[in-house]
Structure 1
Amino acid sequence: MYKVYGGIASRAFRVLWLLEELGQTYELIPSKPHDSAVIALNPSGKIPVLQDGTAALTDSTAILTYLADKHGGFTYSAGTIERARQDSLTHAVLDELDAVLWTAARHSFVLPEERRVPDVKDSLKWEFARNLDRLADRIEGPFLMGETMTIADIIATHCVNWAIGAKFPVENAAISDYAATMRDRPAFKRVREFQAA
Protein backbone atom coordinates (compact mmCIF):
# COMPACT_ATOMS: atom_id res chain seq x y z
CA MET A 1 0.00 0.00 0.00
CA TYR A 2 1.21 3.50 -0.82
CA LYS A 3 1.82 6.02 1.94
CA VAL A 4 1.33 9.70 1.20
CA TYR A 5 2.89 12.28 3.49
CA GLY A 6 1.33 15.71 3.28
CA GLY A 7 -1.89 17.56 3.77
CA ILE A 8 -5.00 18.19 1.73
CA ALA A 9 -4.22 21.91 1.56
CA SER A 10 -0.94 21.20 -0.23
CA ARG A 11 0.21 19.66 -3.50
CA ALA A 12 -0.40 16.28 -1.83
CA PHE A 13 -4.00 16.78 -2.95
CA ARG A 14 -2.84 16.09 -6.52
CA VAL A 15 -1.31 12.75 -5.53
CA LEU A 16 -4.35 11.67 -3.53
CA TRP A 17 -6.66 12.63 -6.39
CA LEU A 18 -4.73 10.52 -8.89
CA LEU A 19 -4.60 7.57 -6.49
CA GLU A 20 -8.39 7.81 -6.16
CA GLU A 21 -8.81 8.00 -9.95
CA LEU A 22 -6.58 4.95 -10.34
CA GLY A 23 -8.45 3.02 -7.62
CA GLN A 24 -5.27 2.42 -5.63
CA THR A 25 -5.19 1.89 -1.89
CA TYR A 26 -3.11 4.28 0.17
CA GLU A 27 -2.64 5.66 3.63
CA LEU A 28 -2.58 9.42 4.14
CA ILE A 29 -0.13 10.40 6.85
CA PRO A 30 -1.05 14.00 7.68
CA SER A 31 2.22 15.91 7.66
CA LYS A 32 3.40 19.46 7.38
CA PRO A 33 6.58 20.59 5.67
CA HIS A 34 9.68 19.85 7.75
CA ASP A 35 7.91 17.38 10.06
CA SER A 36 10.46 14.85 11.30
CA ALA A 37 8.73 12.01 9.40
CA VAL A 38 8.97 14.03 6.18
CA ILE A 39 12.61 15.00 6.69
CA ALA A 40 13.45 11.33 7.27
CA LEU A 41 12.21 10.64 3.72
CA ASN A 42 13.01 13.95 2.02
CA PRO A 43 15.90 15.98 3.44
CA SER A 44 14.45 19.19 1.96
CA GLY A 45 11.42 18.71 4.20
CA LYS A 46 9.02 19.37 1.32
CA ILE A 47 5.69 17.62 0.84
CA PRO A 48 4.24 15.56 -0.66
CA VAL A 49 6.26 12.41 -0.30
CA LEU A 50 5.00 9.11 -1.71
CA GLN A 51 6.36 5.98 -0.12
CA ASP A 52 6.19 2.90 -2.34
CA GLY A 53 7.73 0.06 -0.37
CA THR A 54 11.16 1.29 0.67
CA ALA A 55 11.32 3.98 -2.03
CA ALA A 56 10.42 7.57 -1.19
CA LEU A 57 9.44 9.76 -4.12
CA THR A 58 9.18 13.54 -3.97
CA ASP A 59 7.74 16.38 -6.07
CA SER A 60 4.05 16.08 -6.88
CA THR A 61 4.53 16.09 -10.66
CA ALA A 62 7.21 13.39 -10.53
CA ILE A 63 4.93 11.33 -8.29
CA LEU A 64 1.97 11.78 -10.64
CA THR A 65 4.09 10.77 -13.62
CA TYR A 66 5.36 7.69 -11.81
CA LEU A 67 1.89 6.57 -10.73
CA ALA A 68 0.33 7.22 -14.13
CA ASP A 69 3.09 5.31 -15.92
CA LYS A 70 3.09 2.47 -13.41
CA HIS A 71 -0.67 1.95 -13.50
CA GLY A 72 -1.23 2.83 -17.16
CA GLY A 73 -3.80 5.56 -16.67
CA PHE A 74 -4.17 9.32 -17.01
CA THR A 75 -1.17 9.51 -19.29
CA TYR A 76 -0.13 8.78 -22.83
CA SER A 77 2.66 6.30 -23.54
CA ALA A 78 6.23 7.54 -23.41
CA GLY A 79 7.74 8.19 -26.82
CA THR A 80 4.46 9.22 -28.45
CA ILE A 81 3.52 12.63 -29.85
CA GLU A 82 0.55 12.64 -27.48
CA ARG A 83 2.88 12.19 -24.50
CA ALA A 84 5.05 15.05 -25.73
CA ARG A 85 1.93 17.24 -25.97
CA GLN A 86 0.85 16.12 -22.50
CA ASP A 87 4.29 16.95 -21.10
CA SER A 88 4.16 20.33 -22.83
CA LEU A 89 0.83 21.12 -21.17
CA THR A 90 2.08 19.87 -17.81
CA HIS A 91 5.16 22.07 -17.96
CA ALA A 92 3.14 25.06 -19.16
CA VAL A 93 0.80 24.71 -16.17
CA LEU A 94 3.75 24.38 -13.80
CA ASP A 95 5.59 27.37 -15.30
CA GLU A 96 2.65 29.69 -15.87
CA LEU A 97 0.23 28.87 -13.04
CA ASP A 98 1.92 26.90 -10.26
CA ALA A 99 5.10 29.00 -10.26
CA VAL A 100 3.14 32.26 -10.10
CA LEU A 101 1.03 31.02 -7.20
CA TRP A 102 4.09 29.69 -5.37
CA THR A 103 5.83 33.05 -5.76
CA ALA A 104 2.78 34.75 -4.24
CA ALA A 105 2.76 32.26 -1.36
CA ARG A 106 6.44 32.86 -0.68
CA HIS A 107 5.84 36.61 -0.46
CA SER A 108 2.78 36.07 1.75
CA PHE A 109 3.96 33.64 4.43
CA VAL A 110 6.83 31.37 3.37
CA LEU A 111 9.81 33.72 3.25
CA PRO A 112 11.10 35.46 6.36
CA GLU A 113 9.09 38.64 6.79
CA GLU A 114 12.02 40.91 6.00
CA ARG A 115 12.46 39.13 2.62
CA ARG A 116 8.84 39.44 1.48
CA VAL A 117 7.77 41.93 -1.17
CA PRO A 118 3.97 42.10 -0.78
CA ASP A 119 3.61 44.62 -3.62
CA VAL A 120 4.61 41.93 -6.12
CA LYS A 121 1.22 40.23 -5.70
CA ASP A 122 -0.68 42.67 -7.95
CA SER A 123 1.74 41.91 -10.77
CA LEU A 124 1.43 38.17 -10.12
CA LYS A 125 -2.38 38.36 -10.26
CA TRP A 126 -2.16 40.09 -13.64
CA GLU A 127 0.29 37.48 -14.90
CA PHE A 128 -1.84 34.62 -13.61
CA ALA A 129 -4.98 35.96 -15.33
CA ARG A 130 -3.08 36.35 -18.61
CA ASN A 131 -1.75 32.81 -18.34
CA LEU A 132 -5.22 31.42 -17.57
CA ASP A 133 -6.47 32.98 -20.80
CA ARG A 134 -3.65 31.27 -22.69
CA LEU A 135 -4.47 27.93 -21.09
CA ALA A 136 -8.16 28.36 -21.92
CA ASP A 137 -7.23 28.63 -25.59
CA ARG A 138 -5.58 25.20 -25.35
CA ILE A 139 -8.53 23.33 -23.82
CA GLU A 140 -9.78 20.81 -26.37
CA GLY A 141 -12.65 19.70 -24.12
CA PRO A 142 -13.84 18.25 -21.95
CA PHE A 143 -10.24 17.78 -20.76
CA LEU A 144 -7.15 19.74 -21.75
CA MET A 145 -6.33 17.13 -24.41
CA GLY A 146 -9.86 16.37 -25.52
CA GLU A 147 -11.50 13.14 -24.45
CA THR A 148 -8.60 11.84 -22.34
CA MET A 149 -7.95 13.10 -18.84
CA THR A 150 -4.26 13.29 -17.97
CA ILE A 151 -2.14 14.35 -15.04
CA ALA A 152 -2.00 17.82 -16.61
CA ASP A 153 -5.71 18.17 -15.79
CA ILE A 154 -5.08 17.34 -12.14
CA ILE A 155 -2.32 19.92 -11.85
CA ALA A 156 -4.28 22.59 -13.72
CA THR A 157 -7.41 22.11 -11.62
CA HIS A 158 -5.40 22.12 -8.42
CA CYS A 159 -3.82 25.43 -9.48
CA VAL A 160 -7.22 27.00 -10.24
CA ASN A 161 -8.52 25.91 -6.83
CA TRP A 162 -5.35 27.19 -5.16
CA ALA A 163 -5.80 30.53 -6.92
CA ILE A 164 -9.38 30.86 -5.67
CA GLY A 165 -8.26 30.11 -2.12
CA ALA A 166 -5.45 32.67 -2.45
CA LYS A 167 -7.93 35.30 -3.70
CA PHE A 168 -6.52 35.39 -7.20
CA PRO A 169 -9.35 36.30 -9.58
CA VAL A 170 -10.39 33.49 -11.92
CA GLU A 171 -12.48 35.38 -14.44
CA ASN A 172 -12.04 33.29 -17.57
CA ALA A 173 -15.39 31.56 -18.14
CA ALA A 174 -13.91 28.60 -20.03
CA ILE A 175 -11.46 27.93 -17.18
CA SER A 176 -14.19 28.30 -14.55
CA ASP A 177 -16.43 25.83 -16.41
CA TYR A 178 -13.55 23.41 -16.94
CA ALA A 179 -12.55 23.51 -13.26
CA ALA A 180 -16.15 23.06 -12.12
CA THR A 181 -16.44 19.94 -14.30
CA MET A 182 -13.20 18.59 -12.86
CA ARG A 183 -14.31 19.26 -9.28
CA ASP A 184 -17.44 17.24 -9.99
CA ARG A 185 -15.46 14.05 -10.48
CA PRO A 186 -16.14 11.43 -7.77
CA ALA A 187 -12.42 10.93 -7.10
CA PHE A 188 -11.95 14.66 -6.50
CA LYS A 189 -14.91 14.70 -4.13
CA ARG A 190 -13.54 11.75 -2.15
CA VAL A 191 -10.31 13.63 -1.50
CA ARG A 192 -12.23 16.75 -0.53
CA GLU A 193 -14.02 14.66 2.11
CA PHE A 194 -10.72 14.52 4.02
CA GLN A 195 -11.13 18.27 4.60
CA ALA A 196 -14.58 17.80 6.10
CA ALA A 197 -13.45 14.96 8.36
Structure 2
Amino acid sequence: MYTVIGTANSRTLRVLWMLEELGVAYQHVPANPRSDSVVEFNPAGKVPVLIADGTPITDSTAILTFLADHHGALTHRAGSIERARQDSLTQFILDEFDAALWTAARHSFILPEELRMSGIKNTLRWEFERSQKTLMHRMAEGDFLMGDQMTVPDVILAHCLTWALIARFPIVDARLSDYLDRMRSRPAFQRAAAK
Protein backbone atom coordinates (compact mmCIF):
# COMPACT_ATOMS: atom_id res chain seq x y z
CA MET A 1 0.00 0.00 0.00
CA TYR A 2 1.12 3.52 -0.76
CA THR A 3 0.92 6.56 1.51
CA VAL A 4 0.32 9.97 -0.07
CA ILE A 5 1.17 13.03 1.99
CA GLY A 6 -0.24 16.43 1.04
CA THR A 7 -3.50 18.31 0.69
CA ALA A 8 -5.74 17.68 -2.31
CA ASN A 9 -5.79 21.40 -3.16
CA SER A 10 -2.14 21.17 -4.24
CA ARG A 11 -0.15 19.12 -6.76
CA THR A 12 -0.99 16.18 -4.48
CA LEU A 13 -4.27 15.97 -6.41
CA ARG A 14 -2.26 14.65 -9.38
CA VAL A 15 -1.00 11.71 -7.34
CA LEU A 16 -4.38 10.96 -5.76
CA TRP A 17 -5.99 11.02 -9.20
CA MET A 18 -3.34 8.72 -10.68
CA LEU A 19 -3.82 6.21 -7.86
CA GLU A 20 -7.58 6.33 -8.35
CA GLU A 21 -7.15 5.72 -12.10
CA LEU A 22 -4.86 2.77 -11.34
CA GLY A 23 -7.31 1.38 -8.78
CA VAL A 24 -4.60 0.63 -6.22
CA ALA A 25 -4.88 0.93 -2.43
CA TYR A 26 -3.37 3.94 -0.71
CA GLN A 27 -3.58 5.92 2.49
CA HIS A 28 -3.94 9.71 2.28
CA VAL A 29 -2.40 11.97 4.92
CA PRO A 30 -3.73 15.49 4.18
CA ALA A 31 -0.78 17.53 5.47
CA ASN A 32 0.07 21.12 4.59
CA PRO A 33 3.39 22.06 2.98
CA ARG A 34 6.22 22.62 5.47
CA SER A 35 4.28 20.86 8.23
CA ASP A 36 6.14 18.41 10.44
CA SER A 37 4.56 15.37 8.74
CA VAL A 38 5.86 16.62 5.37
CA VAL A 39 9.32 17.80 6.48
CA GLU A 40 9.89 14.40 8.08
CA PHE A 41 9.98 12.88 4.57
CA ASN A 42 10.90 15.90 2.43
CA PRO A 43 13.24 18.43 4.09
CA ALA A 44 12.15 21.03 1.51
CA GLY A 45 8.65 20.79 2.98
CA LYS A 46 7.01 20.44 -0.43
CA VAL A 47 4.06 18.20 -1.27
CA PRO A 48 3.24 15.70 -2.55
CA VAL A 49 5.26 12.92 -1.00
CA LEU A 50 4.58 9.29 -1.89
CA ILE A 51 5.83 6.59 0.46
CA ALA A 52 6.42 3.40 -1.53
CA ASP A 53 7.93 0.39 0.22
CA GLY A 54 9.09 2.67 3.03
CA THR A 55 10.88 5.03 0.64
CA PRO A 56 9.71 8.64 0.15
CA ILE A 57 9.41 9.87 -3.43
CA THR A 58 8.97 13.61 -3.99
CA ASP A 59 7.89 15.79 -6.94
CA SER A 60 4.51 15.06 -8.50
CA THR A 61 5.91 14.31 -11.97
CA ALA A 62 8.48 11.86 -10.61
CA ILE A 63 5.74 10.16 -8.59
CA LEU A 64 3.37 9.93 -11.58
CA THR A 65 6.11 8.51 -13.78
CA PHE A 66 7.08 5.98 -11.12
CA LEU A 67 3.47 4.84 -10.65
CA ALA A 68 2.82 4.61 -14.39
CA ASP A 69 5.98 2.60 -15.01
CA HIS A 70 5.53 0.42 -11.92
CA HIS A 71 1.93 -0.48 -12.80
CA GLY A 72 2.36 -0.48 -16.59
CA ALA A 73 -0.56 1.89 -17.12
CA LEU A 74 -1.18 5.48 -18.27
CA THR A 75 2.14 5.47 -20.07
CA HIS A 76 3.93 4.28 -23.16
CA ARG A 77 6.80 1.82 -22.96
CA ALA A 78 10.14 3.32 -21.92
CA GLY A 79 12.48 3.61 -24.90
CA SER A 80 9.66 3.85 -27.45
CA ILE A 81 9.04 6.80 -29.77
CA GLU A 82 5.61 7.17 -28.16
CA ARG A 83 7.27 7.49 -24.73
CA ALA A 84 9.62 10.16 -26.08
CA ARG A 85 6.57 12.09 -27.37
CA GLN A 86 4.84 11.57 -24.01
CA ASP A 87 7.87 12.85 -22.08
CA SER A 88 8.14 15.81 -24.46
CA LEU A 89 4.50 16.76 -23.78
CA THR A 90 5.07 16.36 -20.04
CA GLN A 91 8.05 18.73 -20.15
CA PHE A 92 6.17 21.23 -22.33
CA ILE A 93 3.26 21.33 -19.88
CA LEU A 94 5.59 21.75 -16.90
CA ASP A 95 7.60 24.50 -18.61
CA GLU A 96 4.73 26.42 -20.15
CA PHE A 97 1.69 25.86 -17.92
CA ASP A 98 2.80 24.71 -14.48
CA ALA A 99 5.69 27.21 -14.29
CA ALA A 100 3.50 30.19 -15.22
CA LEU A 101 0.84 29.23 -12.68
CA TRP A 102 3.40 28.57 -9.93
CA THR A 103 5.14 31.90 -10.55
CA ALA A 104 1.78 33.70 -10.41
CA ALA A 105 0.95 31.95 -7.13
CA ARG A 106 4.30 32.90 -5.65
CA HIS A 107 3.72 36.56 -6.52
CA SER A 108 0.14 36.42 -5.20
CA PHE A 109 0.46 34.85 -1.77
CA ILE A 110 3.62 32.78 -1.24
CA LEU A 111 6.51 35.27 -1.34
CA PRO A 112 6.85 37.91 1.37
CA GLU A 113 4.79 40.96 0.34
CA GLU A 114 7.84 43.15 -0.25
CA LEU A 115 9.12 40.67 -2.88
CA ARG A 116 5.86 40.25 -4.80
CA MET A 117 5.47 41.84 -8.24
CA SER A 118 1.79 41.91 -9.11
CA GLY A 119 2.46 43.21 -12.64
CA ILE A 120 4.21 40.00 -13.61
CA LYS A 121 0.85 38.20 -13.67
CA ASN A 122 -0.19 40.01 -16.86
CA THR A 123 2.92 38.69 -18.61
CA LEU A 124 2.29 35.20 -17.26
CA ARG A 125 -1.33 35.24 -18.51
CA TRP A 126 -0.10 36.28 -21.96
CA GLU A 127 2.44 33.43 -21.97
CA PHE A 128 -0.21 31.00 -20.73
CA GLU A 129 -2.55 31.92 -23.61
CA ARG A 130 0.25 31.65 -26.17
CA SER A 131 1.22 28.22 -24.82
CA GLN A 132 -2.36 27.00 -25.28
CA LYS A 133 -2.15 27.84 -28.99
CA THR A 134 1.08 25.86 -29.29
CA LEU A 135 -0.46 22.93 -27.42
CA MET A 136 -3.40 22.85 -29.87
CA HIS A 137 -0.93 21.99 -32.63
CA ARG A 138 0.55 19.18 -30.54
CA MET A 139 -2.70 17.53 -29.42
CA ALA A 140 -3.65 14.36 -31.28
CA GLU A 141 -7.19 13.53 -32.41
CA GLY A 142 -9.08 11.68 -29.70
CA ASP A 143 -10.12 12.23 -26.10
CA PHE A 144 -6.59 12.58 -24.72
CA LEU A 145 -3.44 14.54 -25.52
CA MET A 146 -1.86 11.63 -27.37
CA GLY A 147 -5.05 10.26 -28.92
CA ASP A 148 -7.11 7.44 -27.48
CA GLN A 149 -4.93 6.58 -24.46
CA MET A 150 -4.75 8.59 -21.26
CA THR A 151 -1.15 9.18 -20.16
CA VAL A 152 0.82 11.03 -17.48
CA PRO A 153 0.73 14.42 -19.29
CA ASP A 154 -3.08 14.30 -19.26
CA VAL A 155 -3.07 14.23 -15.46
CA ILE A 156 -0.65 17.16 -15.27
CA LEU A 157 -2.41 19.25 -17.92
CA ALA A 158 -5.90 18.75 -16.49
CA HIS A 159 -4.59 19.71 -13.05
CA CYS A 160 -2.90 22.83 -14.47
CA LEU A 161 -6.03 23.87 -16.34
CA THR A 162 -8.11 23.41 -13.18
CA TRP A 163 -5.56 25.54 -11.33
CA ALA A 164 -5.76 28.13 -14.14
CA LEU A 165 -9.51 28.52 -13.68
CA ILE A 166 -9.02 29.17 -9.96
CA ALA A 167 -6.24 31.69 -10.71
CA ARG A 168 -8.38 33.39 -13.40
CA PHE A 169 -6.01 32.46 -16.21
CA PRO A 170 -8.34 32.12 -19.22
CA ILE A 171 -8.62 28.97 -21.29
CA VAL A 172 -8.89 30.44 -24.76
CA ASP A 173 -9.59 27.43 -26.97
CA ALA A 174 -12.95 25.62 -26.92
CA ARG A 175 -11.23 22.31 -27.70
CA LEU A 176 -9.13 22.69 -24.56
CA SER A 177 -12.18 23.60 -22.46
CA ASP A 178 -13.98 20.50 -23.75
CA TYR A 179 -10.91 18.40 -22.96
CA LEU A 180 -10.84 19.73 -19.39
CA ASP A 181 -14.56 19.01 -18.93
CA ARG A 182 -14.01 15.40 -20.05
CA MET A 183 -11.04 14.93 -17.75
CA ARG A 184 -12.75 16.45 -14.71
CA SER A 185 -15.84 14.30 -15.26
CA ARG A 186 -13.81 11.09 -14.95
CA PRO A 187 -14.90 9.12 -11.85
CA ALA A 188 -11.28 8.79 -10.68
CA PHE A 189 -10.83 12.56 -10.82
CA GLN A 190 -14.07 13.07 -8.91
CA ARG A 191 -12.97 10.66 -6.17
CA ALA A 192 -9.55 12.31 -5.86
CA ALA A 193 -10.96 15.84 -5.83
CA ALA A 194 -13.41 14.86 -3.07
CA LYS A 195 -10.48 14.25 -0.72
In 2, distance between residues paired with 1:31 and 1:93?
A: 26
Kindly, what percent of the aligned residue pairs are identical?
Answer: 55
Aligned to 2:42: 42
- Runs of 4+ in structure 1 off by over 2 angstroms are none
Q: Post-superposition shift, 1:169? A: 1.1
- Equivalent runs, 1:1-197 vs 2, <5 Å: 1-140=1-140, 141-194=142-195
In 2, distance between residues paired with 1:177 and 1:157?
A: 11
> AA paired with 2:177?
S
In 2, distance between residues paired with 1:86 and 1:53?
A: 27
Q: Alignment length, in residue pairs?
A: 194
In 1, distance between residues paired with 2:181 and 2:61?
A: 22
> AA paired with 1:167?
R
Q: Post-superposition shift, 1:66? A: 0.2
1:42 partner SS: coil
TM-score, normalising length: structure 1: 0.97
User: Unaligned regions of 5+ residues in structure 2, if any?
Assistant: none
In 1, distance between residues paired with 2:150 and 2:186?
A: 11
- Deviation string, structure 1 residues 7-64 (Cα, Å, up to 9, x no partner): 1110000000000000011111011110101101000000000011210000000000
In 1, distance between residues paired with 2:191 and 2:162?
A: 16
User: Unaligned regions of 5+ residues in structure 1, if any?
Assistant: none
Q: Post-superposition shift, 1:137? A: 2.0
Segment of structure 1 superposing worse, 185-194 or 85-94: 185-194
In 2, distance between residues paired with 1:156 and 1:76?
A: 17
Q: Post-superposition shift, 1:71? A: 0.3
> AA paired with 1:193?
A
In 1, distance between residues paired with 2:170 and 2:84?
A: 30
In 1, distance between residues paired with 2:118 and 2:28?
A: 34
> AA paired with 1:63?
I
TM-score, normalising length: structure 2: 0.98
